[in-house]
Structure 1
Amino acid sequence: MITIYDLAKKTGFSSTTVSKALNNYPDVSKKTRQAILDTATEMGYLPNAHAQSLSTKKSWTIGVMFSEDNQIGMKHPFFSAVIESFRKHAEKEGYDLILASRNLRNRGSSYLEHFLYRGVDGIVVICSDPNDPQVQEMIDASIPIVVIDMSNRNCSVVFSDNLSGGALAINYLYSLGHTKIAHISGEPSIYAGQVRIQGYSDAMKKLELPILEGYLVNGGMFSIEEGAKAMDKLLDLKEPPTAIFVAGDHMAIGAMEVAKKRGYNIPDDISIIGYDDIEMASYVTPKLTTIKQDTDSIGIRATQLLMKQIIQKKKIITEEIIPVELIERESCKRLKKK
């Protein structure tokens, strides 16, 4: 069976250009398109049903890409909840989802090439890495796209208000009398980690609270294990904090386990607030106070934006910031006066 990669090799054009020509994308010149179509006819290329009718009809499929080089991916409750919300609302519009395999890169094919070949009507990207070239390639293409959990000025993006979330956590701890507040951050190269650090720093500055040496610890890729390691560093300080804002619930759970093993009572000795409001947060002991991300609203808004682009047949550049909410449970307490 002749593939677009065979056509690319024969014509000398990239497989992306071949896909675009076969799908009648406007950013391919008439001369190039005709050369590719002539070669396709000559070689007996048979396009799939979706691609064959893409210029006149919908395929009723949406491509889903997870940027998983950051090792988070679908296993994280936040991302799985967002994509479940997106799936549920996309299906109400009559769409099926096609999840791109992580092995595409090993086969020498880009995500964009894969989605163009499959004839999807649009793409949703779940991504925290603003420097991922595969994501940028899809943003630069003419296909409808929505990016979740990343800021970008060249496409439709939907993300939580991480800046306000950081401030919400610090203001809450301050209202309980805490001034020695540390932060276990997510990886700063990840969008969410970066902005939550900024939210923490801005709020501390606004309250005129010093960030003491060692109070900002990189918790890495939001795992329980890395949260535990970060907590050890904070508790080893000569002057440990009385409260900690942790950039993810998994890390916060790891931090709580370490604190308890080292003889600290939560929240009597130290207050801990997380971020995400994953299901596990309400089952640990003590139940975790956290900043809730509205995963359902993120999925709904992403669906609406993508549907609008598909219907209008043009990309929309917009930024949708979804509010976050403080969920009070048992892991924070008013600081005892000495």
Structure 2
Amino acid sequence: MADKRGVTIRELAQAAGVSIGTVSRALKGQPGLSEQTRTQVLEVAQQLGYDTAKLRTGKPRRMLFLYSRHMGSLANNPFYSYVLHGAETVCREAGVPLSLLSVQSGEDIAGQVRRHEADALLGAGYFDPEAMDAVRRCELPLVLVDHFFPGVRCINDDNQLGAWLATKHLLEGNSQRIAAIFGPLAHYSTSLRAKGFRRALFEAGRLFDPDYEVTLDPALEYRDAGRDAMRRLLELPQPPDAVFAYNDSTAMFGMELCQERGLRVPEDIRFVGYDDIEEASHCKPPLSTVKMDKEALGNMAARALIDGDVEPSEASLPVELVVRESSRVAPPPADAAPARRTKRQAVTAER
């Protein structure tokens, strides 16, 4: 029999040929498994001498909300503030304390998690492979929001559809030079939004011009990066007349720069963002955007952890396009000369 101190839940899952979530359910006696699978896990645990006392039963005693520090503060990323609030609401109702921790590669992530005494992890946003590996080595139930990683329970919105709806809206408004501003394409949600943008152009028979797709400079502060991306687009030989931005903050930074340069929104250039943060409806002009229930992302993730529903899977929440002034097609001027009537129309009018 193996030394109990040397057997981890990951090793037990590998030996049994199942996921960590399946091992957790089997040892906790939770529903959702066949008796054959449950028996197999328990037999392997006994053979390896796994110390079942290490696995807490019932709902989590404390949950930890993790996000990567490279995203900046939650104040700079209001999207994740909504996700956090949704998770906190569920935890408060369930009597599970929720704490917050920002992490980055190269740190002792496992040590920081232990100091929070968490027994369930909710990860929000992108984690690079090194950080993700460190999080998984904590061997705690884990659910990811706005990210995807194989073998983990993930909850996202329909990013590709949302970007497709936004770009299709700009195309239907007869914009000819539609540009896009994205964050790092390594991020799961951003890469899908880029696919949705390109798909809409392809379906409309528009050639994809890489000059009209720019990414934020990671070396710059968030606001400066958004303005810099817009500046690069405006300096093209033929600047865009419409912009899809991968989030609302970036869209508003872009609109700000355009207005400083004397461009009118939406008359000269139209904008659509993504996320529908509160500021989007209050900026001038109000920003068109793709809306999803951000708090529901946090709600679902926290509920899954509390219920022990951490089997690898991906849930996708619906999205909808919200059209506001920033992308409306301006009507023709009231004093525009009437179109010349045909001879047939003139005869009909005289009758």
1:184 pairs with 2:185: no
Describe how 1:138-287 pairs up with structure 2 within 5 A.
Answer: 138-139=135-136, 142-220=139-217, 223-287=222-286
1:321 pairs with 2:322: no
1:78 pairs with 2:64: no
CA gap of 1:163–1:213, structure 2 versus 1, over 3 A, is closer
Once the two structures are superposed, residues 46-100 of structure 1 have per-residue CA deviations (whole angstroms, 9 ceiling, x without a partner) of xxxxxx8864565521122112234365631001110111111121111111223
1:60 pairs with 2:53: no
CA gap of 1:336–1:215, structure 2 versus 1, over 3 A, is farther
CA gap of 1:116–1:58, structure 2 versus 1, over 3 A, is farther
Distance of 2:106 and 2:98 partners within structure 1: 20
- The answer on whether the counterparts of 2:67 and 2:124 sit within 8 Å (CA) in structure 1 is yes
Distance of 1:186 and 1:65 partners within structure 2: 20
CA gap of 1:329–1:143, structure 2 versus 1, over 3 A, is same
Describe how 1:54-133 pairs up with structure 2 within 5 A.
Answer: 55=56, 60-71=61-72, 73=74, 75-100=76-101, 102=103, 106=107, 109-111=108-110, 113-116=111-114, 118-129=116-127, 131-133=128-130
SS at match of 1:284: coil
Letter in 2 for 1:274: G
SS at match of 1:69: helix
- The answer on whether the counterparts of 2:88 and 2:98 sit within 8 Å (CA) in structure 1 is yes
Distance of 1:181 and 1:246 partners within structure 2: 11
SS at match of 1:75: coil
- The answer on whether the counterparts of 1:58 and 1:121 sit within 8 Å (CA) in structure 2 is no
Give 1:331 shift: 0.4
Distance of 1:143 and 1:213 partners within structure 2: 42
- The answer on whether the counterparts of 1:275 and 1:291 sit within 8 Å (CA) in structure 2 is yes
1:288 counterpart residue number: 287
Q: How many residues align?
A: 300
Distance of 1:199 and 1:75 partners within structure 2: 25
CA gap of 1:144–1:271, structure 2 versus 1, over 3 A, is same
Higher gyration radius (CA): 2
Give 1:172 shift: 0.7
- The answer on whether the counterparts of 2:266 and 2:330 sit within 8 Å (CA) in structure 1 is no
Once the two structures are superposed, residues 123-178 of structure 1 have per-residue CA deviations (whole angstroms, 9 ceiling, x without a partner) of 1111223x332323433664211011111230110112111111011111111112
Letter in 1 for 2:86: S
CA gap of 1:157–1:31, structure 2 versus 1, over 3 A, is closer
Distance of 2:267 and 2:73 partners within structure 1: 32
Distance of 2:93 and 2:101 partners within structure 1: 21
- The answer on whether the counterparts of 1:281 and 1:288 sit within 8 Å (CA) in structure 2 is yes
Once the two structures are superposed, residues 173-192 of structure 1 have per-residue CA deviations (whole angstroms, 9 ceiling, x without a partner) of 11111232111111212222
- The answer on whether the counterparts of 2:227 and 2:254 sit within 8 Å (CA) in structure 1 is yes
- The answer on whether the counterparts of 1:231 and 1:258 sit within 8 Å (CA) in structure 2 is yes
Letter in 2 for 1:78: F
CA gap of 1:320–1:72, structure 2 versus 1, over 3 A, is farther
- The answer on whether the counterparts of 2:144 and 2:152 sit within 8 Å (CA) in structure 1 is yes
- The answer on whether the counterparts of 1:126 and 1:147 sit within 8 Å (CA) in structure 2 is yes
Give 1:118 shift: 4.7
Distance of 2:269 and 2:86 partners within structure 1: 35
TM-score by length of 2: 0.74
Letter in 1 for 2:302: T
CA gap of 1:336–1:236, structure 2 versus 1, over 3 A, is farther
- The answer on whether the counterparts of 1:249 and 1:281 sit within 8 Å (CA) in structure 2 is yes
Letter in 1 for 2:212: Y
Give 1:280 shift: 1.2
- Unpaired runs of 5+ residues, structure 1, are 1-10, 35-51
Structure 1, 248-257 or 118-127: larger mean CA deviation: 118-127
CA gap of 1:303–1:28, structure 2 versus 1, over 3 A, is same
Give 1:336 shift: 7.6
Letter in 2 for 1:160: D
Structure 1, 299-308 or 113-122: larger mean CA deviation: 113-122
CA RMSD of superposed structures (Å): 3.5
- The answer on whether the counterparts of 1:266 and 1:331 sit within 8 Å (CA) in structure 2 is yes
1:333 counterpart residue number: 328
Give 1:262 shift: 1.4
SS at match of 2:69: coil
SS at match of 1:331: helix
- The answer on whether the counterparts of 1:273 and 1:289 sit within 8 Å (CA) in structure 2 is yes
Letter in 1 for 2:83: V
Distance of 1:159 and 1:296 partners within structure 2: 12
- The answer on whether the counterparts of 2:155 and 2:316 sit within 8 Å (CA) in structure 1 is yes
